[in-house]
Amino acid sequence: MLSRKLFVQVSLLSLAALVPVGFAAEAPATLPAKSKFQLYLLIGQSNMAGRGALDDDAKTPHPRVLKFTKENAWAPAVEPLHFDKPIAGVGIGGSFGREMAGANPDATIGLIPCAVGGTPLSRWQKGGDLYQQAVVRAKLAMKDGALFGVLWHQGENDAGKKDTAENYAARLAQMVKDLRAEFGISDLPFVAGKLGEFLPRTDKDGQPSYWPVVNEQIATLPSLVPRTMVVESTGLKHKGDGIHFDTPSLREFGKRYATAMRAMWEK
């Protein structure tokens, strides 16, 4: 019969074995001075959350790039940054953060991941649950640094219906304005990426997909709201499912987002 001490030790080891590695507690980070901590909010659906295959590069954080964890604490930005689903992987934010850190050697970059796969724009509009969650998390993060911009990638969900595709730009523009009002930053930079050009023209039921319309709508955002930019998805590839960008493409996309963000800050 096991002693009580040995029983407890065995039980704890058994429980530890059941905890998925991806959900292990993450090491806390040492924060810079608030004036040198540049924060970026990452919102949208699965391609922002990241579904790219994890590799050795994903496991090696940059010393000046941090992420705001599910527990609302700062940790080194090891990917996956997001935690919306167990399949979260490499996304846009990792390479974006590295590029921004490289361009700003005196600053630390803080990434606030809030994207959730499979979600429509309506949930990201003011009054929607994901809009509210993102605002709450961003304001908590802003206690430690200053919000420098927003990264957005979404639209696949809204491409399934003609009406949501055709009024996408107006709704997105209003979301940008509402977020700026929430944070009290009237000129907060906002970068939106176009949907992958590899997306199928019809869905699994043979119904038309209006993703080209959504891309056309996204392209008009800078004409509707100042201090916004659009990033092209030309040349980027999917990981074999016709929906999600592969790891190399996500890293290239992140660099394109960084180039756009820097352009707005350097004006």
Identify the DSSP state of 53.
P
* Residue 245 DSSP label: B
Q: Average pLDDT, stretch 131-148?
A: 98
User: Of 74, 70, 78, nearest to 54 (Cα)?
Assistant: 78
CA distance 39 to 42: 10
User: pLDDT at position 93, please?
Assistant: 98
Place of tokens 């092209």: 232
Identify the band that residue 162 occupies on the pLDDT scale cut at 50, 70 and 90: very high
184: left (phi over 0), alpha (psi -120 to 50) or beta: left
Kindly report the CATH number that applies to the domain delimited by 28-265: 3.40.50.1110
What percent of the chain is predicted at pLDDT more than 70? Answer: 90
What is the band of 25 on the pLDDT scale with cuts at 50, 70, 90? low
What rounded mean pLDDT belongs to the chain? 91
> What is the pLDDT at residue 21?
38
Tens digits of residue pLDDT in 188-246: 999 999 999 999 999 888 889 999 999 999 999 999 999 999 999 999 999 999 999 99
pLDDT for 8: 35
Cα–Cα nearest to 261, from 174, 155, 154, 148: 148
Q: What is the pLDDT of residue 20?
A: 37
pLDDT of 17 over the 90 cut = no
* Max intra-chain CA distance, the chain: 75
Q: pLDDT above 90 covers what percent of the chain?
A: 86
Summarised one tens digit per residue, pLDDT across range 35-53 is 999 999 999 999 999 999 9
Q: pLDDT by residue (tens digit) across 67-95?
A: 999 999 999 999 999 999 999 999 999 99
Structure tokens given for 187: 């000129």
- Cα–Cα–Cα angle for 184, 186, 189, rounded to 5 degrees: 110
Name the pTM for this structure: 0.90
* pLDDT number for residue 267: 73
Indicate the range of 11-15, 56-60, 153-157 predicted with least confidence: 11-15
Model confidence band, residue 16 (pLDDT cutoffs 50, 70, 90) = very low
- What confidence score (pLDDT) does residue 185 get? 98
Sign of the dihedral defined by the CA atoms of residues 201, 202, 208, 211, in that order: negative
